[in-house]
A and B are shown apart, each in its own frame.
Chain A
Amino acid sequence: MAERPHYTEIDHTADVGVEFCAHDLVSAFERAAACMFDLISPLNEIGSGWSRRVAVEGRSGDLEHLMIRWLSELLYMATSEQVLLSRFRIEELDVKGCGAGDGSRIVALVHGERINAACRTIRIEIKAPTYHYLRVEETREGWMVRVIFDT
């Protein structure tokens, strides 16, 4: 089973949000994904027998766009494959657009487990990550990330 990520839950009236600080950009993206799935179902209850490689592209140098594309892609994968994801290992992160396309890019290997409604605790449904109050910013303490999800 995966470990639950550290984050602060934002007190948003209608939706849910997370905020955390990561030591580098790769872990910022990985932990954002872990937080999103931990909100859906605690990660320490999710296995990692299912895996898939995922590639996402965003606008060149636009970290907020890449973050939303990354999280949206994982959410779509979970919905269409009927899985809950628990582990995220980014193999390639290109934010300046030097990769195959003309934009930024993430390639990652993700692990999870097929949803079995009978034995799984689903806390909330997340419809989407939003740009509202979104933050992906380097500070003295590290990379500050804040994401509010529509639930």
Chain B
Amino acid sequence: MSSSGKGESKSRSTSRGDLTEVADCVWEIARAGGMRVPGRVYADETLLPQILSDKGLEQVVNVAHLPGIVSYSLAMPDIHWGYGFPIGGVAATDPSEGGVVSPGGVGYDINCGVRLVASSMRREDVEDRIPELINALFRDVPCGLGSSGAIGKLSPRDVRDVMADGARWAVTRGYGTETDLDRTEEGGCLSSADPSTVGKRAIERGRSQVGTLGSGNHFIEIGYVDEVYDEARAAAFGLGLGRVTLMIHSGSRGLGYQVCDDYLDVMQHAVPKYGISLPDRQLACAPVESQEGRRYLSAMACAANYAWANRQVMMVLAKRSIAGVMMAGEAELGLRLVYDVCHNIAKMERHRVGDREKLLCIHRKGATRAFPGDHNGVPDCYRSAGQPVLIPGDMGTHSFVSAGTHTALDETFGSCCHGAGRVMSRTKARKAARGRNLAEELRRMGVYVTAEGKATLAEEMPSAYKNVSDVVDVMDRAGIARKVVRLKPLGVVKG
């Protein structure tokens, strides 16, 4: 007896010979078999061998099988092997052509994302106080597996309010300001959220985790602007050379995992119901216009809103923590949100396809929105600069801030890479870290790190990641997102 692979067609491997360079840094995988569109990968000769070393491209091909997919199955240069979608994958589906939504195209950590806070502090102001600052952040923002208790346990009704209102829920309770909402993707709230589509288990898991970092690759990082590539845009973002920054990376925690889990199960039933054939069951999906598709999108929006509230609360806790150590007011320190972006999400967005504008379902799985300044989704303060695109690197080297462009709108449905991208498995990283004192190595590189678990530190070691500069350069060369500044980490709290 073997297991029953309902609704499956066969997955196929991809090699260098399957890639054709169609423009500088753009490679195409031709349609074959059940692919409905070609694949497109953004990479250069440096990154290609790493990209070809795992099953990421096979997953680009798999995603091209989704019903209603438009133009291309896209991969950003940080692409690596995920589950279902590759990490760094982007796919747009057209609901009017039977386009589907796939929970696997968003992932378990719904609206995992990054926010960046600028300040008027100079590197010299904080350099000697980094251990003190990082230890204070570690104390004040709960982190690690199952971390809880940042703001007290919420009632189920409160959780429903968080899911309906997103970051605004936090602001109305004294965590931040209206300006913060203006500088958050979608204003920190997807209006399509309907708490009645979220199950009791997810709500229960959400009761104690607002304002908590979690574990894995989540982090809080203090750094500074160590290189400016575009003076005008850096000024618009408030990121002057040598100024101190705060970056927060987290998502929707257990509530998001549960929403994904619950709806993946719903989709397992929807696949045969709608006669969908897929090469990987993790891509299970339903038409956007079906009851299953609509309910998933509403529940996913709830989890996305929870994540925005989570990062909003965490930012305020972190600001208070920094102000406490520096013995100065937050205003005096010039702490202000630059932007908040999500990188695991499916959203209904209007995009031009050929000569027509269409409402599409954009899946970004480990990819960041990168809109030009004149897009109505970008706040007025960034009209001339474009949307800030936040690209964290590994904890030892650099992170980048880029700006969205019209080319991104034309070629990638307004999407860009989301980080360096892993190149070494967690198992290999743990083996490579054996017998080494990573915290001490990082300290010698000028980065003070504190982590809830030693294993996390090993798995997240700098050599486990691609060189983020290579990744960001590909996006810049392809015109998808223009480099604005580079950030150098000084201290990191790992979950």
Closest CB in chain B relative to A23 CB, distance in Å: 15
Q: Verify B81–A137 contact, CB threshold 8 A.
A: no
Q: Verify B107–A138 contact, CB threshold 8 A.
A: no
| Chain B 211-222 interface 0/1 with A at a Cβ cutoff of 8 Å (1 = within) | 000111000000
Closest CB in chain B relative to A32 CB, distance in Å: 13
Question: Complex: how many Å from CA A136 to CA B87?
Answer: 25
Q: Verify B80–A14 contact, CB threshold 8 A.
A: yes
- Residues on the A chain within 8 Å of B282, using CB: 130-132
- Residues on the A chain within 8 Å of B82, using CB: 14-15, 132
- Residues on the B chain within 8 Å of A68, using CB: 265
Q: Which of A57-65, A85-93, A106-114 sits within the interface? A: A57-65
- Residues on the B chain within 8 Å of A76, using CB: 201, 258, 261
Interface membership of B41, Cβ < 8 A:
no
Interface membership of A13, Cβ < 8 A:
yes
Question: Complex: how many Å from CA A135 to CA B3?
Answer: 7
Question: Complex: how many Å from CA A127 to CA B459?
Answer: 16
- Residues on the B chain within 8 Å of A115, using CB: 146
Is the interface on chain B under 10, 10 to 19, 20 to 34, or 35 or more residues?
35 or more
Tally the A-B contacts, defined by beta carbons under 8 Å. Answer: 121
Q: Verify A127–B108 contact, CB threshold 8 A.
A: yes
Closest CB in chain B relative to A134 CB, distance in Å: 7
Interface membership of B205, Cβ < 8 A:
yes
Smallest CB-CB separation from B85: which chain A residue? A132
Q: Verify B453–A12 contact, CB threshold 8 A.
A: no
Question: Given A62-B3, A82-B146 in contact, is the A150-B83 Cβ separation under 8 Å?
Answer: yes
Closest CB in chain A relative to B367 CB, distance in Å: 14
Question: Complex: how many Å from CA A148 to CA B297?
Answer: 25
Interface membership of B185, Cβ < 8 A:
no
Closest CB in chain B relative to A40 CB, distance in Å: 8
- Residues on the A chain within 8 Å of B281, using CB: 64, 131-132, 134
Smallest CB-CB separation from A69: which chain B residue? B265
Interface membership of A116, Cβ < 8 A:
no
Choose one: A12, A62, A122, A135; the contact of B145 (CB below 8 Å): A122
Q: Which of B409-417, B422-430, B440-448 sits within the interface? A: B422-430
| Chain B 320-364 interface 0/1 with A at a Cβ cutoff of 8 Å (1 = within) | 000000000000000000000000000000000000000000000
Interface membership of A125, Cβ < 8 A:
yes
Q: Verify A16–B427 contact, CB threshold 8 A.
A: yes
Interface membership of A128, Cβ < 8 A:
yes
Is the interface on chain A under 10, 10 to 19, 20 to 34, or 35 or more residues?
35 or more
Interface membership of A44, Cβ < 8 A:
no
Q: Verify B108–A128 contact, CB threshold 8 A.
A: yes
Question: Complex: how many Å from CA A72 to CA B260?
Answer: 11
Question: Complex: how many Å from CA A40 to CA B347?
Answer: 33
Interface membership of B257, Cβ < 8 A:
yes
Choose one: A67, A121, A151; the contact of B426 (CB below 8 Å): A151
Choose one: B2, B3, B81, B205; the contact of A14 (CB below 8 Å): B81
Choose one: B54, B258, B280; the contact of A13 (CB below 8 Å): B54
Interface membership of A141, Cβ < 8 A:
no
Interface membership of A123, Cβ < 8 A:
yes
**Residue among B56, B264, B268, B455 with the most chain A CB within 10 A?**
B268
Q: Verify B83–A62 contact, CB threshold 8 A.
A: no
Question: Given A115-B146, A132-B282 in contact, is the A138-B459 Cβ separation under 8 Å?
Answer: no
> Which residues of chain A in 2-34 are interfacial with respect to chain B, using CB atoms and an 8 Å cutoff?
9, 11-16
12 residue pairs of the A-B complex, CB under 8 angstroms, read A14-B426, A16-B427, A63-B1, A64-B4, A64-B281, A68-B265, A79-B146, A80-B201, A122-B453, A131-B282, A134-B281, A148-B83
8 tightest A-B CB contacts, nearest first: A132-B83, A131-B281, A63-B3, A130-B83, A132-B282, A127-B108, A13-B81, A131-B282
Seen from chain A, the residues whose Cβ lies within 8 Å of a Cβ on chain B are 9, 11-16, 59, 61-65, 67-69, 72, 76, 79-80, 82, 95, 115, 117, 121-125, 127-128, 130-138, 148, 150-151
Seen from chain B, the residues whose Cβ lies within 8 Å of a Cβ on chain A are 1-6, 54, 56, 80-84, 87, 104, 107-109, 144-146, 201, 204-205, 214-216, 254, 257-258, 260-261, 264-265, 268-269, 280-282, 284, 422-428, 453, 455-456, 459
